[in-house]
A and B are shown apart, each in its own frame.
Chain A
Amino acid sequence: MQALEKKQDLAAQKPARRIGKAQREERILGYLFVLPVVIVILVLVYYPLAKGFSMSLHSLNFAMGPSDHFVGFKNYLHVIQDPDTIATAIHTLGYLAVAIFVELVGGLVFALTLNSHFRGRGIVLALTILPWALPGIVSGVLWSRIFHPDNGVLNNVLYRLGIIQDYQLWFSKPLYSIFFIGLVFVWSSLPLTILTLLAGLQTIPSELYDASAVDGAGPVYQFRFITLPLLRPALAVALTIGTVNALGIFDQIYVLNGTALGTRSITLQIYLMTFAQLRFGEGTALAFWLTLVTLAFSVGYIRSLRSARG
C-alpha cells in the first residue's frame, strides 16, 4: 500500500518536475535574450558613467600635464564655488523657465487645437513636427539669419512696418538674449510637448465630456475639472522631458551668441572647461552636478504626480 502511494507520489511529482525544468529553460532563454542589451547598456552607458565619475574624482588637467591624482570630491566643491559656474547655473534656470512656461502653455493650446477635428489637420500636424526634426545647430543657424543685426528678417520686417527706427542688436543685453535664445530653443522642442499632450488628450474618454455637458458644464468647467486632471500624467511626462532638454541647452546658444558669459549655459561651461581648457576632472564633476539636478527635477515631477493621484 505504502509502495503504491509512493509510486503515485512520484507520478504526481514527475510532471511538476517537468514543468520546473521547462520554466528554468524558459528563464535561461529569457536571460539570453536580455543579455545582449544588458551588455550593450553596461558598455555604452554604465562603463562611461563609472569612468566619468572616476575622472571627476581626479585632478585631471591635461593643460598642466598628463599626471593626475585622487582628490575625492574637491572638484565638486571647487566648481560650484566658481563664479562662472554660478552665473551659468542662473542662466540655465532662465532658459528652463522660458522653455517650461512657453512649452506648457503653448503646447497645451496647440494640442487642444489639434485634438479637435478640422480640415487639413494632418498637414498642420506634420508641419508642427518639422522643427523638432531639425538638429539644434541647424535651427540655431536658421534663427541667426532671422536675428542678424545687419540683414536679419526680424529687423527688416520691424523696420519696414515702422516699429523700429534702427536695426536692433537682439543679443545686446543678457536678459533679452536669454529670453530670445530660450524662444529659439522652444521652437524646436515645442513639437514634442504638443505630441505628448495630444496623446494624453486622446486617452480622455469623450463620454466624460458628453455626460458633463448634459449636467450643464461649459468648456471652461470641462477643461478645469476633466481635461486638466486627466492630462496630469502627460503633463508630468512633458515637464520631465522639457526640463531635461532645457537643462542641456547648448547648440542654440553657441550659434547665436558664442561663448559669451552673459548667455552661457551649464552645458556650454562644461564644454569649455573640459574640451577647450582641458580641465577634465572639474568638467566631469560639473557634468555630474548637472546630472544630479536633472535627476532631482525628474524625481520631483514624478513624485508630485503620484501624490496628486493620491
Chain B
Amino acid sequence: MKRTLFRALVMIMIFGMLAAACTPAATPAPAQPTQPPAQPAQPTQPLAQPTQAPAKPTEPPVQPTQPPAPTEAAAAQPLKGQTIEVLLPPWAQLSQDMLDAFEKETGVKVNLTIAQWDAIRDKISVAGASGSPLADVAEFDWSWTGQFSKSGWFVPLEDKISKDLLADLQNTPSFTADGHLYAVPYSNDFRLTAYNTKMFEQAGITKPPATFDELVADLKLLKEKGGVKYPLGMFMSPTENVSTTWYLLTLAMGGDLFDKDMKPAFTDPNSGGYKALQWMVDMNKAGYVAPGGFSPDTSWDTKFVAGEAAVNLSTGPAIMPVANDPKQSTIVGQAGLTMVPGIDKPTASFGLPEGLGIMTTSKHQEAALAFINWWMKPENVLAIQANLGLLPTRTSVLEQEIKDNKLPGGEVLIEQAKLLKPLFPSGTPPWYSQFSTEAATLLNAALKGDMSVQDALNKLAAKATALQSGQ
C-alpha cells in the first residue's frame, strides 16, 4: 500500500511538473492593463508620439502617455521596461546597435525575429486565425492589404501617427483600405531596370534603352557582339516574381490589368497585358533569357551582380548598394540604373512597398508605435538606408538626399518614382493572392510553350471574373 501511495505521489509530482512546464512564463515587463490610457479625452488618438524627434519643428511636441513619474528619467521613458516582439524579413534586419539605440532612447527592449517573407504571412495567418499573439510589430506587404484589412488582425494607424509624418510618407495608399491605414511604409521599393555599363560598352551601346524596341536591339548586340550568352534577366518561374514582372510590363506597355469597372483588360491582342506576355515569350524564344529564369530559386539580382546578365529588367533601388559592394558583387562600379522602358518612352512602373503594422493582439501597442515612430526619424531612416539599402519612404529625406547628391542613381529614382502607377487604383482586392497564384501558373505555362498567350490570358481573365463574383 505504501509502495502504491509512493508511486501515486511520484505520478502526481510528474504531472504537476508537466502542468507547470505548460504554463506560460511570467513576463518581466509590467502588465499593460495597469497602465492608464494615454489620452482618455481623445478616444480616436489613444496612442501618443513620444519618440518623434523634438528638434524637427514640424513634428508635434512630445506628449507623455503616463502619469508623472517620481524621477525625470522615468518621465522621459514612460514605456521603460516593456519588451516588444518584432517580426521582419531578412532585408529589414536592423543591426543590434540600432536596436540598442532604440532601447536606450525609449527603455523598450526589442526582440527581433527574422523570417522569410512568405513564412511571415503564414505565421500571421495562423496566429490571426487562432487569435494568439505573434508579434507587436510585423512586416506588412502591399499585396496583403486587401486580405489583412478585412481580417481585423492589424490596428488602423491613420489616427495614431502624426499628421506631419503621414503627409511626408510616400506609398501610404498601398496600405490603405476602406479609409484606414494598416501599415507605415518603411521600404520604398519600386520597379526599375538595371544594366551593366561595361557589357553595354563592350557591345558598342552608348546609352541605356528607353523603349522596348531599343532594348531588343541592345539585347541582340549584347548577345552577338558583346558575347553575353543570356543578356536579359527576367523571371519566368511559377512564382509571384513572374506575376510582378508581367504586371510591370503591362503598365510599361501602356496598359492596365483591370479597367475602371474592374473587368480584366489584358485579353485583347492590342492591350498592354497581352503585348507584355507576348514580349516575354518572344524574348525567351529568342534565347535572351537564361533557362534558369524558370527555376523558382533564381534571383536575378544575384545573377546580375555576379555578372551573369547585362540587363536586370525588374529590380529595385536596393540593387545599387549591393552591386557596388565588393563583398557581394563582381561588377563593382559597372551597374547603372535606368527607367523601365516603354513603347515610345518610359511611361510607367509600380511600387512594391513594405510597411510596419501593429497586430491587434499586441499588448504593447504604445511601445510598438514608439518603435515605428523611432524608425521613421530622418536620421534612423538614413542609417537604415546606409546599412540595408532600403530606399526611404519619407519625401523630405529623399529630397534632402537628392539635394546633397547622396542618393545612388538619384535622378533615375526620382524620375521613375514620378511615373509610378498603382496596380489597383481602388486598393488591392482581397482575392489578389488567388489571382496572383493563378497568374504565375498561366504565365509560366505560356512562357514554356505549354499554352498560347491568348489561352493563358483568357483563362486568367475567367479566373479573375470568377474571383470577383465570389466563386
Contact = CB atoms under 8 A, between A and B. Distances in A.
Interface of A: 25-26, 28-29, 32-33, 35-36, 40, 60, 62-66, 141, 144, 148-151, 167, 169, 171-174, 255-262, 272, 274-278, 280
Contacts of B15: 32, 35-36
Contact of A260 (B121, B153, B444): B444
A150 B292 contact: yes
B150 A64 contact: yes
Interface stretch (B76-84, B363-371, B388-396, B433-441): B433-441
B209 to A, nearest CB: 24
Interface string B149-160: 011110000000
Contacts of A144: 295-297
A32 B239 contact: no
Nearest to A264: B441
Query: In terms of DSSP, what is the predominant structure of the interface of chain A?
Result: helix
A36 B14 contact: yes
Interface in B359-405: none
A51 to B, nearest CB: 9
Nearest to B14: A36
Interface of B: 1, 4, 7-8, 11-12, 14-15, 18, 118, 121-122, 125-126, 128-129, 146-147, 150-153, 237-239, 290-292, 294-298, 430-431, 433-434, 437-438, 440-441, 444-445, 448, 450
Contact of B125 (A141, A149, A172, A274): A274
Contact of A62 (B1, B125, B237, B295): B125
A184 B4 CA distance: 54
A32 B18 CA distance: 14
A262 B445 contact: yes
Contacts of B445: 260, 262
Contact of B297 (A65, A171, A255, A277): A255
Contacts of B437: 259, 272, 276-277
Given A32-B8, A36-B15, A148-B295, A63 B431 contact: yes
Given A256-B296, A259-B437, A280-B129, A26 B4 contact: yes
Nearest 5 CB-CB pairings of A with B: A260-B238, A149-B291, A150-B292, A63-B430, A258-B296
B63 to A, nearest CB: 32
Contacts of B152: 65-66
Contact of A259 (B1, B122, B441): B441
Given A261-B441, A280-B129, A149 B238 contact: no
Nearest to A263: B238
8 contacts: A25-B1, A144-B296, A150-B291, A172-B294, A258-B238, A272-B437, A276-B125, A276-B437
A149 B294 contact: yes
A174 B7 CA distance: 61
